[in-house]
Amino acid sequence: MAAATEHASSRPLISIKSVDKIYPNGTEALHNVSLEIPGKPQFVSLLGPSGCGKSTLLRMISGLDRHTGGEIEWPTTAYDYKGRPLAEIGFVFQEPTLMPWANVFDNVYLPLRLKRQTRAKVHDQVMDSLRMVGLEKFARSYPRELSGGMKMRVSIARALVTKPKVLLMDEPFAALDEITRLKLNNDLLALWEKQNLTVIFVTHSVFESVYLSDRIVVMAARPGRILADLSIDAPYPRTEQFRTSSLYNEHCRDVSGWLKQAMAGVEDEH
Ligand SMILES: Nc1ncnc2c1ncn2[C@@H]1O[C@H](COP(=O)(O)OP(=O)(O)OP(=O)(O)O)[C@@H](O)[C@H]1O
């Protein structure tokens, strides 16, 4: 049994092989994208200029949309009859997309309700998820009573309530003010370290990606493709001290260099 578990964790969680995506209007959003997400939890950022296919890649991984070429495999996970992975995936979008007529508890309960779980049965599970994001006291509040940062926390709690293996986040903090964003960066890292979770995080920000990630995948546009796969070898937990360190600055400089190349569409040796 131990050997089987060991074997499972040494296999990749997600294997993306030569994936293409051409939208029906002819836009080549992804060209020959290959990426392996290991079984051991990582914090991976997808960084790149507008239109390089970050959101498209996230949607392909989630199964929300189909690629037009190549393979996306989940070697340790079964598939449903439509070929979608049965691994629990949580998705957080830039907008919190909460139901305004439902309170915080019911918004977080939604994914479990869709799985036909009764409110009574999963009450503690929903409250645990709210506790993870520090909102257990706001279970009965309505979205209109919450700040932008709190709404985003509800959205994260909703994504985590099914205990996913993978959390896909599409520019989740882009619409928030700087202070709230920095606070949520720290909270997200604390959650990630506790939950045995893989996070795939889309961002435009070099600073945010270096602070959060142990791996940054830099993408370029026209067609969307991977330019660099970088590791950020700074230890966790990361704190304000890391943000002001020379190591952080070095990584930011390096990643900025790659981003500049991505924006210029230059693929020379870095
Ligand atoms: N449903 C669609 N139909 C046609 N083209 C699309 C569709 N969705 C995205 N695209 C195009 O595919 C390319 C990649 O888009 P995508 O949204 O994945 O990029 P992105 O890197 O996430 O951009 P941004 O950072 O601006 O969100 C763009 O040229 C976009 O216009």
Q: Is residue 203 lining ligand 1, measured as CB closer than 6 Å? A: no
- Do 266 and 219 reside in the same domain of the chain? yes
Q: Is residue 223 lining ligand 1, measured as CB closer than 6 Å? A: no
- Do 150 and 260 reside in the same domain of the chain? no
Domain boundary, last residue among 123, 141, 163? 163
Residue 202 domain-assigned (yes or no): yes
- Do 241 and 177 reside in the same domain of the chain? yes
- φ, ψ of residue 181 to 5 degrees: the values are -65, -45
Q: Is the pLDDT of residue 265 over 80?
A: no
Domain boundary, last residue among 145, 163, 181? 163
What pLDDT, on the 0 to 100 scale, is given for residue 11?
86
- Do 173 and 251 reside in the same domain of the chain? yes
107 vs 152: CA distance, rounded Å: 12
Strand 43-47 to strand 198-203: parallel, antiparallel, or no bridges (unpaired)?
Answer: parallel
- Cβ atoms of residues 45 and 259 within 8 Å: no
Residue 4 domain-assigned (yes or no): no
Q: Which helix (H) or strand (E) holds 159?
A: helix 148-160
Q: Is residue 62 lining ligand 1, measured as CB closer than 6 Å? A: no
Q: Is residue 50 lining ligand 1, measured as CB closer than 6 Å? A: yes
- φ, ψ of residue 172 to 5 degrees: the values are -65, -25
Residues 128-153: pLDDT tens digits?
999 988 999 999 999 999 999 999 99
Establish whether the linkage from the previous residue to 172 is cis, with ω within 30° of 0: no
Domain boundary, last residue among 163, 197, 214? 163
Q: Is residue 29 lining ligand 1, measured as CB closer than 6 Å? A: yes
Residues 13-68: pLDDT tens digits?
999 999 999 999 999 999 999 999 999 999 999 999 999 999 999 999 988 889 99
Provide the strand spans (E) within 48-187. Answer: 69-73, 89-92, 166-170
Length of the chain: 270
- Judging by beta carbons within 10 Å of its beta carbon (0-12, 13-18, 19+), is residue 77 exposed, middle or buried? middle
Q: What is the ipTM of this complex?
A: 0.97
Q: Distance of CA 188 to CAs 62, 144, 173, Å?
A: 20, 23, 11
Residue 56 domain-assigned (yes or no): yes
Count Cβ atoms below 10 Å from residue 144 Cβ, excluding itself: 8
Mutate to test the pocket of ligand 1, among 19, 30, 56 (most ligand atoms within 8 A of CB): 56
Residues 220-255: pLDDT tens digits?
998 999 999 999 999 999 988 999 999 999 999 999
- Do 147 and 229 reside in the same domain of the chain? no
- Do 112 and 80 reside in the same domain of the chain? no
Q: Which domain holds residue 204?
A: 11-87+165-270
Q: Is the pLDDT of residue 1 over 50?
A: no
Q: Distance of CA 211 to CAs 36, 47, 91, 171, Å?
A: 22, 13, 21, 15
Residue 49 domain-assigned (yes or no): yes
